[in-house]
Chain A
Amino acid sequence: MECMSWLSRLNPRGPGSRSGRSAAPSSPCTADPETCLMVFENHWRQVSWVLEKHEPSSSSDDLTAVRNHTDQMLCLLAEERPAESPEGGGVPPMGPILELVVTENILECLVQWHLRRGLDPDSQGALLKLFEMLIGQSQQPLLQHTAVLHPLLRLLGACADPELGCPSALENSLVLLLNQICVSMARQPVVLEMLFRAAPAQQGSTNLLIFSLLVPFIHRDGAIGQQARDALLLVMAASASHEAVARYIAENSYFCPVLATGLSALYSSLPRKIEVRGDDWHALRREDWMCVSSLVLFMNSLEFCNAVVQVAHPLVRSQLLDYLHNGFLVPVMGPALHKSSVDEMIASTAYLDLFLRSVSETSLLKTFLRFILLHRHDNDTILDTLLTRISSNSRLCMVSLSLFRTLLSLNCEDVMLQLVLRYLLPCTHVMLSQRRAIRDTDLYGKSADKFLSLIPECCRLNAAPSTERDEDSAFWGKGEQQTVEKEKFTLTAVVIKTPPRPSTPSRLAFFIRQQSSGGGSGGGGPSTPTGMEPLQSGPSSSHPLSPDSPMHQQQTHTECLDWDSGYLEYLKDARRGIEHCSWACRDWSAPYDGENPSPNTVPPPPPPPTSNPSMAMFPEHFSFQQGGSSNTPPGEPQPPGDSNGQGISIEAFTQELRELEDRVKERSRPACQEEDTARESLSAERQEEEQQLSSALEVKLTGDTKGEGTVVGLCSPARPLNQPASQPYTGPFMVVLFAKLENMLQNSLYVNILLTGIVAQLACYPQPLLRSFLLNTNMVFQPSVKSLIQVLGSVKNRIEAFAASHEDFPAMLKKAQQYLVARGKVDWTDSPAAVPPLRRSDSLVKSRKPSLGDLILRHTNSPTRARHAAQLALAHVRDGGQSLHSALFKGSAGASGLEKQAEALRVKNAVYCAVIFCEFLKELAALAQEHAVSLPFPHSQEAEE
């Protein structure tokens, strides 16, 4: 069906629709068929006279005459309608002119004559155009007549001839003709058969001439490339049910290798470095790449691959996928992802993310995922490599997080297995007595309560007594001020009179959670008519509400908002997220509930890496504009190899110098902060100690706890005897996410937004193993396993310590909230203008102004201009940031600029962190509650599709 609509799209000129192109002179006659035939015969007589001269004449008079007559003849042929159908329908017989053309083999004679006298480019072009006109405009089917098909193939053969070839000036005509042929072939599949079999003997070697002529244009830029790809797709679609043609394409043509290696070539011309100064940039959006011609070319070809995979015969499809894997992903993408320069890592990661988001065909996606999960480059899987980069402290981290977000959004069992589940499957992370609790949900809101209880006291305060009322009103608008001040969580209250937000908000937009206007349908998405179809709504969908319900109450008091209205939005989001996720996972092979697959039979997951390369591997490349934190927690060793000079630009180098400077200066920070850092280094030490001691601890603990000892005995026989009792390890993904999370206070705002987004995304998964690991705050884990609640607890402490040491924390907190709200508003108004048709939603990357990317990427060849453009483009965003900045840190004009900036950044990150943290806790609490009330979806086979 898809195919059909797509065919009609590719068929710009149906029969009879004269599009006024001037390939043929206008018809001299619209008269009756008999007159036309007479005129035609007259022309033909005069042409024959020239053609029958024995000496091939070189006279240009002859040529002119023949061409003039031919024009007239072919025009008449194209205009001719088929004869009246005989009684009872059936195929209408040929019109008289066509009949004459067939019986006298007129076209063959004409083409032969041209070829004999040597085809000059001018005539060649004229012939191509004439045939194109004929095929495109003919009123009756022509190609199934060998008298038409053979001369056509002869002409095309000449174009394929290595000596004669097709001059580049004629390429457009050639491709257009080929495109026309393919269109009529799509209409009459029999033509494909004929094209395939009935090629003239001299062209025997490539019996699908059309095809081989088109292939070189696959990766062409502009209209000609598009026409060629469209035409090829038509051949592909037609061949899907035609084994012999498919086999030919797979075995005798270069189609698949050309397509795959072409991608490689195009990839190599992509910018190595993505010049962006936006501190929040983390993924390529459509607007970003539309103006980068090399990327557009690549994406066109990738889209074409996607389309071929969609329509082609399985033989062709699997060959193409093989070539893509072995001819593009492994030799090109693999090394690109492992480049040593950070810029290149950033670029290649962003590209890979873009590709994954752009591919819609399942089998193509599978090829990409196989590559990511299984392919080993220098002993590490691509996944391993990507994982280590989350811990880097730069833009690379954000781009990597964004890629993982994309991966998680696929709801793919294989991905989740490799990332998390295989580490949780043995259930060694939980105390044995706890295994049964894996499937428990948060029935009574205990976990939710626990999460909410972690909201730091300092963030619960009412908004600071507003001394800056005037300033505020610029943000909040009049009339809402009162509400704002009353609130604990002002964020939720802001935008009342805005349109429903788009269904793909950034996480920034989520700071402007909007009061819902209708029952259960939340701030976005299509609202279901409430109460209309009681049978169709489960307990977890929208209903008419009781007058006493808290939900109901919220609807009635839209004007006086209080903070749990925000919580209601979180609940709705959580419900949507969980429903969507469990729907998407309904066909997984197992429930992952701690029993199936059985913990005793699963293979042991890979052990943790001995050293922790992830921590040391990546230098921190960021600048103040990028918003990255320049505070390496002092407890951490300085990354070695930081400035070994390789692939580092002067710019990066100066940045690094600056950072070094900052680090030095940090050591002379006020006492309260030293406390802070002391705690950090302490916890880092403790962490290390913990790791060293944990096996000992484990033994001790299992010995201590009553009843545990026997249980250990119970499970150990299942393990191979020679296997050392490995320490429970929840896998690199969880470890790196938790480490990053623990460091929230130092992370930049955007890292935290992405990071918390990923954890929330993980927490939507309904698999009890994962759900209990993240959301069951009552679970008792093995001592060496850190739980989410522990990590969050330590963040809470740090925030409170920070707040205690900053008098103006409440005011700053409020400012930060305001900024985020204002910022979210900007994002919100960026409606998803043009979502590419083939693609899944680019939901992750909506957090920037659209024009930004164009401006920046357009100038990749000129860094200076790029920077200038970026500055211009970012001016408006900056404004918000600057005003916040100056508001937060006014008056400290004394200290050196750099020192001031470093401290400012540190404070800014911490304050933003506090805001994000509270929202994140609400999000997690809502997820815990919603899991308890969600119902699983049946397998799609059980419930038809």
Chain B
Amino acid sequence: HTNFWKSNNKSDNEEQGGHGEQRSSPARLSFGKKQLPPIPKNAAPITKPASTGTPTQSANGTHASYGPFYLEYSLLAEFTLVIKQKLPGIYVQPSYKSALMWFGVIFIRHGLYQDGVFKFTVYIPDNYPDGECPKLVFDIPVFHPLVDPVSGELDVRRAFTKWRRNHNHIWQVLMYARTIFYKINTTEPLNPEAAVLYEKDVHLFKSKVVDSVKLCNSHLFDQPKIDDPYAISFSPWNPAVHEEAKERMFTYKRRPEDHHKGTQVSGLSWVKPGSTQPFSKDDGSPQS
């Protein structure tokens, strides 16, 4: 058994442990060189009706009504972490209908599954972050030892034997989903056929993978499986639509929402990097 997200922190006091740097994406280092365009961020993670959302123990029940905010913000915070991770080749977007369902797509750029474009959906339990680990289901069951050949569900739980708030994050699930395509694991498979083939007849395995990738890619332009305004859908390149969108993605510079140019002197700093002394930077206009 491999526990993908080993935690060195034995402290079970969930509030006191941070996400330590030793866990910060071991896999990321090996792929991190490619700078990706920013993940499209048009998603507003949204909660299910308020009834579902009382994640925190409101001991006295007096501020239970803040519950929806907590759940919504927790998921928004998770999404923010995903963005900060800049995961290579992975794009996600929470659905319009529920912040507990995220649509995603993963691009495999080399290895056995090269050129694979796999759409998936992440289902987050509604008692997040105190419940089980999120589920990740591929739209089309990819031929892979850890992917259920019928439902398309990835065996996430093997990597997160117990979902621990503060230690486990959704970006790790996404990262894990990517890793399986580069490092094949055949123990306790959900798809025994794939596992056996990989062990016994890797050539046949490879050709099955190629077929599976082809199959997936041939359905790329299909309507999204789940009808949702924020579902990820692909269409053939249409310059009239895509050129402009691409342009905007590349030129976009984020500013504060109510930022008026020139209204405020800002970014004031005369501290020399590496120093903690005020006015240590020589800005070329010397004063005696």
- Do A425 and B276 form a contact, CB below 8 Å, given A414-B271, A546-B44? yes
Write out the residue numbers on chain A whose beta carbons fall within 8 Å of the beta carbon of B50: 550, 553
Additional pairs, 20, CB under 8 Å, beyond known A436-B18, A525-B258, A585-B267: A321-B285, A322-B288, A325-B287, A326-B288, A374-B279, A410-B265, A441-B77, A443-B74, A443-B129, A445-B69, A539-B45, A548-B98, A550-B72, A553-B50, A579-B256, A580-B256, A583-B256, A584-B267, A597-B276, A932-B77
Q: What per-residue 1/0 map shows which CB atoms of A411-445 lie under 8 Å from chain B? A: 11111011001100100000001101111111111
Interface residues in chain B, defined as those with a beta carbon under 8 Å from any beta carbon in chain A: 15-21, 40-50, 55-56, 58-60, 62-63, 65-66, 68-70, 72-74, 76-80, 83-84, 96-99, 129, 165-166, 229, 245, 248-249, 252-259, 263-276, 278-279, 281, 285-288
B258 contacts A580, CB within 8 Å? yes
B268 contacts A538, CB within 8 Å? no
A943 contacts B253, CB within 8 Å? yes
Q: Which of B20, B80, B281 counts the most A-chain CB atoms under 10 A from its CB?
A: B80
Which residue from B76, B77, B263, B285 sits with its C-beta under 8 Å from A363? B285
Name the distance in Å between A418's Cβ and chain B's nearest Cβ. 6
User: What is the CA–CA distance of A933 and B20 in the complex, to the nearest angstrom?
Assistant: 19
Name the distance in Å between A929's Cβ and chain B's nearest Cβ. 5
> Restricting to A157-214, which residues have a CB under 8 Å from any CB of B?
none
Write out the residue numbers on chain B whose beta carbons fall within 8 Å of the beta carbon of A360: 265
Q: What are the 3 tightest A-B residue pairs by CB atom distance, in nearest-first order?
A: A534-B42, A546-B46, A445-B70
A933 contacts B268, CB within 8 Å? no
Name the distance in Å between B12's Cβ and chain A's nearest Cβ. 14
Q: Which of B59, B97, B265 counts the most A-chain CB atoms under 10 A from its CB?
A: B265
What are 20 A-B residue pairs whose CB atoms fall within 8 Å in the complex? Answer: A317-B285, A360-B265, A363-B285, A365-B268, A370-B287, A417-B271, A440-B19, A449-B56, A453-B62, A534-B42, A539-B41, A539-B80, A540-B76, A541-B257, A542-B257, A544-B96, A553-B50, A579-B256, A583-B259, A602-B276
Which residue from A418, A537, A563, A584 sits with its C-beta under 8 Å from B278? A418
User: What is the CA–CA distance of A362 and B285 in the complex, to the nearest angstrom?
Assistant: 12
Name the distance in Å between B203's Cβ and chain A's nearest Cβ. 44
User: What is the CA–CA distance of A320 and B74 in the complex, to the nearest angstrom?
Assistant: 53
Name the distance in Å between A327's Cβ and chain B's nearest Cβ. 12
Tell me if A667 counts as interface (CB < 8 A to partner B).
Answer: no
B271 contacts A588, CB within 8 Å? yes
Q: What per-residue 1/0 map shows which CB atoms of A911-945 lie under 8 Å from chain B? A: 00000000000000100010011110100100110
Write out the residue numbers on chain B whose beta carbons fall within 8 Å of the beta carbon of A935: 80, 83-84, 254
B46 contacts A571, CB within 8 Å? no
Interface residues in chain A, defined as those with a beta carbon under 8 Å from any beta carbon in chain B: 314, 317-318, 321-322, 325-326, 360, 362-363, 365-367, 370, 373-374, 410-415, 417-418, 421-422, 425, 433-434, 436-446, 448-449, 452-453, 455, 457, 460, 503, 520-521, 525-526, 528, 533-550, 552-553, 562-564, 567, 571, 575-576, 579-580, 583-590, 597, 602-603, 778, 780, 840-841, 925, 929, 932-935, 937, 940, 943-944
Which residue from B45, B70, B84, B245 sits with its C-beta under 8 Å from A444? B70
User: What is the CA–CA distance of A547 and B98 in the complex, to the nearest angstrom?
Assistant: 9
Closest to B20 in A: A436
Which residue from B20, B77, B248, B257 sits with its C-beta under 8 Å from A535? B248
Write out the residue numbers on chain B whose beta carbons fall within 8 Å of the beta carbon of A934: 80
B69 contacts A564, CB within 8 Å? yes
User: What is the CA–CA distance of A778 and B13 in the complex, to the nearest angstrom?
Assistant: 11
User: What is the CA–CA distance of A439 and B275 in the complex, to the nearest angstrom?
Assistant: 21
B285 contacts A448, CB within 8 Å? no
Write out the residue numbers on chain A whose beta carbons fall within 8 Å of the beta carbon of B63: 449, 452-453, 455
B66 contacts A445, CB within 8 Å? yes
B271 contacts A840, CB within 8 Å? no
User: What is the CA–CA distance of A539 and B166 in the complex, to the nearest angstrom?
Assistant: 21
A444 contacts B47, CB within 8 Å? no
A411 contacts B268, CB within 8 Å? yes
User: What is the CA–CA distance of A367 and B279 in the complex, to the nearest angstrom?
Assistant: 10
B42 contacts A535, CB within 8 Å? yes
B62 contacts A460, CB within 8 Å? yes
User: What is the CA–CA distance of A399 and B226 in the complex, to the nearest angstrom?
Assistant: 59
Write out the residue numbers on chain A whose beta carbons fall within 8 Å of the beta carbon of B248: 533, 535-536
A318 contacts B273, CB within 8 Å? no
Write out the residue numbers on chain B whose beta carbons fall within 8 Å of the beta carbon of A449: 56, 58, 63, 66, 70
B56 contacts A444, CB within 8 Å? yes
Which residue from B47, B69, B99 sits with its C-beta under 8 Å from A929? B69
B78 contacts A443, CB within 8 Å? yes
A584 contacts B42, CB within 8 Å? no
Write out the residue numbers on chain A whose beta carbons fall within 8 Å of the beta carbon of B276: 417, 421-422, 425, 597, 602-603
Name the distance in Å between B13's Cβ and chain A's nearest Cβ. 9
B278 contacts A373, CB within 8 Å? yes
Which residue from A453, A543, A933 sits with its C-beta under 8 Å from B60? A453
Which residue from B256, B265, B274, B278 sits with its C-beta under 8 Å from A362? B265
B258 contacts A414, CB within 8 Å? no
Name the distance in Å between B125's Cβ and chain A's nearest Cβ. 14
Write out the residue numbers on chain B whose beta carbons fall within 8 Å of the beta carbon of A580: 256, 258-259
B278 contacts A365, CB within 8 Å? no
Write out the residue numbers on chain A whose beta carbons fall within 8 Å of the beta carbon of B268: 362, 365-366, 410-415, 584
B270 contacts A546, CB within 8 Å? no
A535 contacts B270, CB within 8 Å? no
Which residue from B18, B21, B49, B271 sits with its C-beta under 8 Å from A413? B271
Closest to A777 in B: B15
Name the distance in Å between A639's Cβ and chain B's nearest Cβ. 32
B257 contacts A412, CB within 8 Å? no
A944 contacts B253, CB within 8 Å? yes
Name the distance in Å between A840's Cβ and chain B's nearest Cβ. 6
Which residue from B44, B254, B267, B287 sits with its C-beta under 8 Å from A543? B44
A543 contacts B42, CB within 8 Å? yes
Write out the residue numbers on chain B whose beta carbons fall within 8 Å of the beta carbon of A567: 66, 69
A780 contacts B44, CB within 8 Å? no
User: What is the CA–CA distance of A674 and B1 in the complex, to the nearest angstrom?
Assistant: 66
B43 contacts A840, CB within 8 Å? no
Name the distance in Å between B247's Cβ and chain A's nearest Cβ. 10
User: What is the CA–CA distance of A176 and B8 in the complex, to the nearest angstrom?
Assistant: 79
B74 contacts A318, CB within 8 Å? no
- Do A433 and B279 form a contact, CB below 8 Å, given A366-B270, A580-B258, A583-B256? no
Name the distance in Å between B86's Cβ and chain A's nearest Cβ. 11
A443 contacts B98, CB within 8 Å? no
Write out the residue numbers on chain B whose beta carbons fall within 8 Å of the beta carbon of A552: 46
User: What is the CA–CA distance of A944 and B251 in the complex, to the nearest angstrom?
Assistant: 10
B269 contacts A374, CB within 8 Å? no
User: What is the CA–CA distance of A586 and B47 in the complex, to the nearest angstrom?
Assistant: 32
B267 contacts A932, CB within 8 Å? no
Which residue from A317, A362, A550 sits with its C-beta under 8 Å from B69? A550
User: What is the CA–CA distance of A240 and B275 in the complex, to the nearest angstrom?
Assistant: 33
Name the distance in Å between A732's Cβ and chain B's nearest Cβ. 16
Write out the residue numbers on chain A whose beta carbons fall within 8 Å of the beta carbon of B19: 440
Closest to B96 in A: A546
Name the distance in Å between B276's Cβ and chain A's nearest Cβ. 5
Name the distance in Å between A289's Cβ and chain B's nearest Cβ. 21
User: What is the CA–CA distance of A422 and B40 in the complex, to the nearest angstrom?
Assistant: 38
- Do A933 and B73 form a contact, CB below 8 Å, given A374-B278, A453-B63? yes
User: What is the CA–CA distance of A887 and B68 in the complex, to the nearest angstrom?
Assistant: 39
B271 contacts A549, CB within 8 Å? no
Write out the residue numbers on chain B whose beta carbons fall within 8 Å of the beta carbon of A944: 253
A437 contacts B16, CB within 8 Å? yes
Write out the residue numbers on chain B whose beta carbons fall within 8 Å of the beta carbon of A413: 268-271, 278
Write out the residue numbers on chain B whose beta carbons fall within 8 Å of the beta carbon of A443: 74, 77-78, 129, 165-166
Name the distance in Å between B184's Cβ and chain A's nearest Cβ. 33
B253 contacts A535, CB within 8 Å? no
Q: Which of B44, B79, B253, B271 counts the most A-chain CB atoms under 10 A from its CB?
A: B44
User: What is the CA–CA distance of A562 and B270 in the complex, to the nearest angstrom?
Assistant: 47
Write out the residue numbers on chain B whose beta carbons fall within 8 Å of the beta carbon of A366: 268, 270, 279
User: What is the CA–CA distance of A149 and B56 in the complex, to the nearest angstrom?
Assistant: 83
Name the distance in Å between A371's Cβ and chain B's nearest Cβ. 11
User: What is the CA–CA distance of A579 and B80 in the complex, to the nearest angstrom?
Assistant: 14
